[in-house]
Amino acid sequence: MSGRGRRWTAADVPDQSGRTVVVTGASSGLGLEAAKVLAGRGAAVVLACRDMGKAERAAEQIRASAGRAGPRVVHLDLASLASVREAAGEIRASCPRLDLLINNAGVMRPPYRLSADGFELTFATNHLGHFALTGLVLDSLLATPGSRIVTVSSVAHRDGVMHFDDLQFERGYRADDAYGQSKLANLLFTYELAARLRAAGHGTIALAAHPGVARTELFRWDPWLTRAVLSPAMRPLMFWTVHSAQSGALPALRAAADPSARTGEYYGPGGWHGYTGYPVRVESSARSHDAAAGRRLWEASEQLTGVTYRILAPSG
């Protein structure tokens, strides 16, 4: 879909009073901007973050901008399944309802390292941790009418390939390939989840979004020249290929809150190559719609995480 039509902005997010929202990686960047908007519309927001110091500072920002109490902060390290289970238990215990889960946190092109569970860090953080968290809080989502699950992918998914014979890159680490695989996995997961929810007759819907190219801390492992090009000082020259974190958060917000959004849809900026622009419904790669790959990834994810979605039957 092109970027034509009425411009959808944060002002279009409807009233969120009475809704409970969990945003992962909300201590900075896209997650923080999305949390600010949702809290400002009245949602009870839970910031699920690895760095508790940054999370508390983000919570203070949100309190100041929203002019109301909250949000709650929960420790979540997606690269540790023990942490994911602990965070999910805390969310389930403290939230009587769960209307929205935004799987936003991520890492991009870090040096090769393993997670606490021995998985390649990018795949562990960007996919496996969110797969496990979603499964562990799914019953709370299913019990809440109108609930949604939004997972943040990337334009990098277009080059992504699932290395099912070497998901952890044990035969040689390539940072770009690892990131592309993890972002493709986000979409395969979303589409398989949407299919399973639909087949089971549940009202909870699953959607995906991507931010285009936004100025955030995600680029912290990139070369200094890349970071310089992305800096605010270069905005007069790069405005058509790079936009702010506030703008980058809009596709996820639209997937999360637009009343017209439907399960299995994917939102991103409507500008050139999807890098910048107002959020519109977009198409993802052919590989992301490979149903057999989606089921294979699901089975592998259940085996690796030990989290089984028992209330959802396989799709297809």
Angstrom distance (rounded) from CA 42 to CA 31: 17
Question: Is residue 309 among the annotated active site residues?
Answer: no
- CB burial readout 35-69, b (16+ within 10 A) else e: bbbbbbbebbbbbbbbeeebbeebbeebeeebeee
Residue 266 CA, distance from chain mean position? 12
- For the chain, the first-to-last Cα distance in angstroms comes to 27
Question: Which residue matches tokens 């009202």?
Answer: 203
Residue 18 per-residue DSSP state: T
Contact 277, 283 (CB under 8 A): no
Catalytic residue chosen out of the listed positions 179, 191, 267, 278? 179
CB atoms within 10 A of CB 112: 13
- Sign of the torsion angle spanned by Cα atoms 26, 29, 32, 37: negative
What amino acid positions are annotated as catalytic residues? 179
